[in-house]
Amino acid sequence: MDSFLTSRVVTDVLSGLTNGAIYGLVALSLVLVWRATRVLNFAQGAMPMFATYLGMGLLSYDWPYWVCVGVSLVAAFAIGAVTERVLVRPLYGKPEINPIVVMVGYLIILEAFAAAIWSTTPRSLPAPFSPIDWKLAGQPVGLSPFSLFEVVTALVVMGAIVGLFRFTRIGLQLRASALAPEVSRLLGVRVGRMLTLGWMLSTAVGAVTAILVASNFFTGLTPQLMDGIFAFGFIAAAVGGLDSPVGAVASGIALGVVLQFVGDYLNSNAIILVALGILIVSLMVRPNGLLTRSAARRV
């Protein structure tokens, strides 16, 4: 039994789940924004990165860890709200490439400002729990207290978002504004506020992700922290379907596990190549994602 738990396969599955939780969170934040406003947010990695710098930077002034996490989340809410109001709102109803380009510009500018203020030197964030794998009979299991914390955090955040959408009044209004803005407005939903709220939630989910990534991947916090992760998160969201939160999370986790095997049994360069291959094939088979009910486009 012990040898089974420390076998290569089980270790890969466990490490894959940890990475997959991260991809799933990025995918979830992309889906939140896409459902609310039909914008694929290319700054989805950069906005939380900025919030994380603002919040976790307070660590150097000896603020307690969890307070810094709280400040990061508040900063993320603020950045999400301001971005939606100032940058995104004027673009509703414009050709679909306009918001794409604006968000790429926003990505450039956020990363440049972060590098100008905090420099490109990585900043190490303390992990709140030990990142060293548990051992069974002297063999690492592929799971550490911190990676367990990551998976649990991801599940809690996903559960909270799903719960919010399914079971609360606000969630109902959020869904209604995304599906039928005109009708919702007539029925008294403040649609504008709901769209802003969608962006705030998405950026906050992103901030949780960014903090986990910056403490876990031995990379530390850098302005380009989320570039690579964003690509994997997008692939997960596109494979699962940009309209489906559950699909995004599920395919994120699946992607993490598959890629862990690829990295272990082939090599680390093959990871992104296989991910790209999965994306191309799945888009050819199901352009709207594997887990969405395909809807006819209205003309």
Partner 1 sequence: MSAVARRGAVALGGLVVAVALGFALAPRTSDAVAVAAVAAVAAVGGFVGSLPTVRAEHPALARAMLTVVLVDLVVFATAFLSVPTDFNLATGAGMAIVLLGLSFLTGASGQISIGNGAFMGVGAFATAIWANHHATTPIVVTLLISVAVGALFGLLLGLPATRLRGPYLAGMTLAFAVAFPAILSSFNSWTGGDSGLQLPNSVTAPPWLVGLFHAGTPTLTTDTLWLTDVVMVATGVAFFFMANLFASRTGRAMRLVRDNDVAAELVGVALPRTRVIAFVISAAYAALGGALWTLLNNSVSPATYGFALSITILAVIVIGGIGTISGAIIGGVVYAYSTNVIAWFVARTGLNPQGNLASQLNGIIFGALLIVTMMFSPLGIAGTIRHLRQRRALARERR
Does 136 participate in binding partner 1 (rule CB under 8 A)?
A: no
Judged by CB under 8 A, which stretch of 20-28, 145-153, 206-214, 266-274 contacts partner 1? Answer: 266-274
Does 270 participate in binding partner 1 (rule CB under 8 A)?
A: yes
d(CA 205, CA 212): 11
Instruction: By CB under 8 A, name the one of 63, 113, 217, 261 that touches partner 1.
Output: 113
- Specify the residue, 151 or 210, whose C-beta has the smaller distance to partner 1: 210
Q: Which of 208, 252, 228, 242 is nearest to 48 (CA)?
A: 208
In 15-147 the beta strands, taken as DSSP E runs, fall at 135-136, 139-140
Residues 30-59 interacting with partner 1 (rule: CB under 8 A): 34, 39-40, 42
Amino acid at 53: Y
- Specify the residue, 156 or 266, whose C-beta has the smaller distance to partner 1: 266
Instruction: Estimate to the nearest angstrom the gap between the alpha carbon of 183 and the chain centroid.
Output: 30
By residue count, the chain amounts to 299
Instruction: By CB under 8 A, name the one of 3, 130, 273, 294 that touches partner 1.
Output: 273
Instruction: By CB under 8 A, name the one of 9, 67, 70, 119 that touches partner 1.
Output: 119
Instruction: By CB under 8 A, name the one of 58, 81, 87, 136 that touches partner 1.
Output: 87
Instruction: By CB under 8 A, name the one of 3, 64, 94, 129 that touches partner 1.
Output: 94
d(CA 42, CA 294): 24
Does 166 participate in binding partner 1 (rule CB under 8 A)?
A: no
Judged by CB under 8 A, which stretch of 97-105, 136-144, 151-159, 184-192 contacts partner 1? Answer: 97-105
| Neighbour tally for 281: CB within 10 Å | 11
Instruction: By CB under 8 A, name the one of 109, 132, 152, 156 that touches partner 1.
Output: 109
| Count of residues near partner 1 by CB under 8 A | 50
d(CA 259, CA 274): 8
Classify each residue of 203-218 as buried b or exposed e, where b means 16 or more C-beta atoms within 10 Å of its C-beta: bbbbbbbbbbbbbbee
Instruction: Estimate to the nearest angstrom the gap between the alpha carbon of 230 and the chain centroid.
Output: 7
Does 115 participate in binding partner 1 (rule CB under 8 A)?
A: yes
